[in-house]
A and B are shown apart, each in its own frame.
Chain A
Amino acid sequence: MTAPADKIAVERLTAIFGKTEVLRSVTTSIPAMSVTAIIGPSGCGKSTFLRCLNRMHELTPGARVEGSILLDGQDVQGRDVDPVHLRRRVGMVFQRPNPFPTMSVLDNVSSGLRLNGIKGDHQATVEQCLRQAALWDEVKDRLRAPAISLSGGQQQRLCIARALAVAPEVLLMDEPTSALDPIATAKVEDLIHELKARYTIVIVTHNMQQAARVSDQTAFLYMGELVEVGATEQIFTNPREPRTEDYVTGKFG
């Protein structure tokens, strides 16, 4: 794959809950093997944007989507696209760590494979994913322990490992560190750096420093509209839009 090709192209994406438009005609693209951060004040539609990319948005009753989202040129909203397949290609990590409480550390990581009916010994995959999630050394001696016995930061990295195990191409992260302490946050941010060599990452964050630290490209959403998108450095040092400047300099939000 040639390096900075667009993995995802979003065109005039409008997302609706009942009668409210949460996103209005958003057009942008997400380059492959890079980190794209979505920033903006609470309620601006950041999470909704993310959840449109793997069609989790449509699970909410009353939710609708207009416009198109192309993944490798194919419309993910297409009639012939099974959202279940799509979600294996586009993985997701949530705000709060949500390991399956009835499963061990090991079973959590392999859960995506097992639940998708992939039989066999997943030990090797589990180890590889836990290593990628920088968690292996901490849990290798207690793979059989219940997942909820881990600390919050470990649980979140476990959830990342779980998402990696189904071998996605894109990884969506919805404020993945908002429930973590600073040390755990730093570990997850380091991890994001490592992961972008293999995955296309889209991360929603309300923390601008985090966006500046981890991302290559940043998009600023405000009240459902995409105000500006560009290289992270440019957005934070030399924004074109006054609203972006106000936001990144902390004048509102």
Chain B
Amino acid sequence: MTRYWHLFKDSALLYSFGRDKVAMASFSVLLLLVLLSFSSPLIAPFDPYDPAGIDIMDSDIPPSWQEEGDPRFTLGTDAQGRDMLSTMLYGTRISITIGFFAVLLQSVLGILLGLAAGYYGGRIDAFLMRLADIQLSFSTLMVAIVVLAVFQASFGTELYNDLAIFMLILVIGIAEWPQYARTVRASVLAEKKKEYVDAVRVIGLGSRRIMLRHILPNTLSPILVISTVQVANAIMSEAALSFLGLGMPVNKPSLGSLINSGFEYILSGSWWITAFPAAILIILVLVINLLGDWLRDVLNPKLYKD
């Protein structure tokens, strides 16, 4: 363990991080958002999931510094009478969770399929890459819209509301695996030619072990770069789907569904219902993208193009 820590401490990654102000700032903002949102049950002033704690008479209160504000609700309340601050904390947690797990799913899928395609080659490779082509030619958002509309319809809205978070993770996760598969496959093809792979094969290690223990670590840096960008993309996709009413339900809102529910009030002067979640969403996605940019510059991996 300590060995890895030393490796990490002396790495070029950390060195460059220490010298890049944008990266440091982005990372701290991201860390702050993650910490705050995941401790929301502890720090949020209200519980937005508890109907008994919500009073309709408190709805639509502007932020507390405005004339009609209420000191209980720092950032005001939404149309249901929920405290904006608490709802946003919980909503950010949902958005981050969906983004993280969707990317986890797509990376696991993509890495396994990419390894298989690259290592075994032949028909498996041809089939998997063709599948990836077809899947990529339909855009993720399109697939997600259709699949979610279908599921929402066939589950009925009631069941869908309970399953929404899993459905979003599944749909966004499955739709984007080719991104990983192609990159991993390309690296595998490059690595396979190298002598060390032949060497371990001569020792008699199984192919699974060769792939996971020897080839995979060499593909980590492109995966890391893709993952960062993909988390940002997944959060954006989720927001877009929620905006169309296909994402998280109103009683368990993500940032996207909060923006959606505020959209009808934006002209009526209740700007805070849309503006605050929108700002958080943009900041969240922006810092992740900035980190991704920085990682790309530092690691400079060979990403799959074409």
Same complex origin of A and B: no
Chain A residues within 8 Å of B, Cβ to Cβ? none
